[in-house]
Structure 1
Amino acid sequence: MSEQQIKDGYDRLEGALAPPLDSLQRVDRRVAARRRQRRTAVAGVATLGVLAVGGTVVVLASGDDGTGPAVANDTAGDPVSTLVLRRPDGSTYAFDDVKVSCTRPRTAAGDPISEAKGRIWMYSPIEFTGSEKGGDAQVTQPFVYFEGVVAKLHPDQTFSLPVDGPGDSDTFPMTFFVADTEGAPDGNEVSSAVSDATGTVRVLRASCDPVPVLQLDVTSTLGSEEEKTSLDVAGTLR
């Protein structure tokens, strides 16, 4: 696939915003942007990296045709998250509503967030107002996003941040991303792939067989994709 085809594909994702159905364009835009930047830098970063926020989101739907159930979860029940975002001013935001899936999420336009196979995803609700086309898209609540390559996630494996390179983001074993509504003028996006990210993401379990299961312990300071303030994110996913 050429650089222009990649760019065109991500541009299509960026144009899919329209409340409330087009809810996840921003996620992929940042992820897309990171992938473009890293592909260019390496020869050419979704988190994912897939995500773009501040005010642009992508709506995730599950099922290869976008018509399947919302998300496949462990039969033991919905995942329980204690992940919390902490800002420099001491304010916090809890990501207590998350989904785990091994089916590629798609934008409202039907485009998959990642063409890569063998992935597991975790994300919280992504909501926004306005539209990308109108130039007034704004994320209305922070969201968290994780993407991992199942074959590269081993039981009780600890990743020290940053997790980046040497290839583009599709080669990373995992990407951890948070979009925040704070950070003038259009919010902030932080990730595990930025050079000044620190801390750890510990993977206790990651499996798609027979059902999606993801268990994480996170103690991190994620670097800003927009050269803004780094943000602390810590907690567990069970």
Structure 2
Amino acid sequence: MIATDLRTGVDRLGEMIAEARTIVPFTGAGISTETGIPDFRSPGGLWSRNQPIPFDEFVASQDARDEAWRRRFAMEETFAAAKPGRGHRALASLYKAGKIPAVITQNIDNLHQASGFKADAVIELHGNTTYARCIGCARRYELDWVKSRFDSERQAPDCTACGEPVKTATISFGQAMPEHEMRRAAELSQHCDLFIAIGSSLVVWPAAGFPMMAKHAGARLVIINNEATEQDDHADLVIRHDIGETLGPFVGN
């Protein structure tokens, strides 16, 4: 069913939420755009300005590492200013009510944690950009430390423990997906009765496979996204309206 108008979609979504025992949300960049964080693919998105730097290029080239960190620090004000939007707060309300065990997200902005989810209830398939890790020994570094070294040495720093490059704790193109998070996401997808994909184009695999995994396991599937996706025909409900307006009524419920 494709909701013909916002009210119809919100009413039907409310019925499905009320009937569900276990809800698993799957969020993409679209849930964060109302917070001021641009998405990736749309006109004006991050990739329209800069093509992503593949992981192998980051590892092989000091220039690539310098550029990656230059871009990250250029976005710091945007990330630092972002606060959870209505979509984040609605999901946090359902989490606190015991309807949602955890959220699966493609986002790297830490806004689910800021909205009230415990850290271990946020399954970050693409990592987190609010801190850094050594790609060798996985030692954690805070961004202030990286920025200080970057400014003083005029280049991206290496790990003080093992000498390998330090990178934002995100998953880049060509980098292996996190095994633990992928396994948890699969388990959740297979054991829910309502799966809600929110603000994702559902084109980045293997993450885009979780909605259909849930559907095949017997869950109802809802897709909330401004644009059509390739999985809309399989969904029980499709809402192509603003995410904040769609989920806003569920904040605090």
Higher normalized contact order (CA 8 Å, seq sep 6+, divided by chain length): 2
Is the strand fraction higher in 1 or 2?
A: 1
- Scaled by the length of structure 2, what TM-score is found? 0.23
